[in-house]
Amino acid sequence: MKIHQVINSLFTSNSWILDFEKNCWLVDCGDIRPIVEIIGKMPVVGVLLTHAHYDHIYGLNELFELYPGIPVYTNEVGRELLLNDKLNLSRYHETPFVFEYPQNIQIINDGDEIVLNGECKLKVAATPGHNDSCLTFVADKEIFTGDSYIPGIKVVTNLPGGRKQIAKQSVDRILKLAIDKTIYPGHGDITSSLE
């Protein structure tokens, strides 16, 4: 699996492209054009959401015009945010966002495993605190932490639904999960393994 970073125009959030050569998966989904520039004709076959704040989901409807019917993985709270522009905070921007394909939402929870293309196993860890929709995805050598852990930056907990104490517990958990793995956060750069 190759991983490409797309830095989005909105709040410089990251979308990550998990490239399996025949197809690819996304972790979060902002600007679509740079994704298409990287993947060309290779299809996107699924999306994993680290959480459902606006800056991590706003490309989804456009993505579905290109790749209809693919699954979008999130938890129950993420589902609520995807379908509510107030909860996902997009209402406070120029373009309120509501996900138009609720039937494609797949609910996942702490401890679940998602096997991508039968070859790459991702474990799901619930890492609430920044928001209750926060999930961290743990592969063999990679960990996708969203906004639950951005190396060098304090977790943002002052948005609606943020919980400071819980966020600390999630960071502690992520730091353990991240040992010997490369960290792919929701904003900022890739950070090589913690020791």
Q: Is 15 in the site for Zn ion (CB under 5 A)?
A: no
Selected binder of Zn ion within 8, 16, 34, 53 (CB under 5 A):
53
Whose Cβ is closer to Zn ion: residue 53's or residue 181's?
53
Rounded CA separation 192/105 (Å)? 31
Nearest Cα neighbor of 167 from 126, 128, 109 is: 128
Per rule CB under 5 A, is residue 147 in the interface with Zn ion? yes
90 binds Zn ion, rule: CB under 5 A: no
* Rounded-to-5 percentages of helix, strand, coil across the chain: 25, 30, 50
- Considering the complex, state which of residue 85 and residue 147 has its C-beta at the smaller distance from Zn ion: 147
Give the residue at shortest CB distance from Zn ion: 53
Under the phi-then-psi rule, with left for phi > 0, alpha for psi from -120 to 50, and beta for the rest, what region is 137? beta
For Zn ion, the closer of residues 56 and 116 by Cβ is 56
- Rank residues 53 and 79 by Cβ distance to Zn ion and give the closer one: 53
Asked if 186 contacts 150 with a C-beta cutoff of 8 angstroms, the reply is yes
> Residue numbers of the site for Zn ion (CB under 5 A)?
53, 147
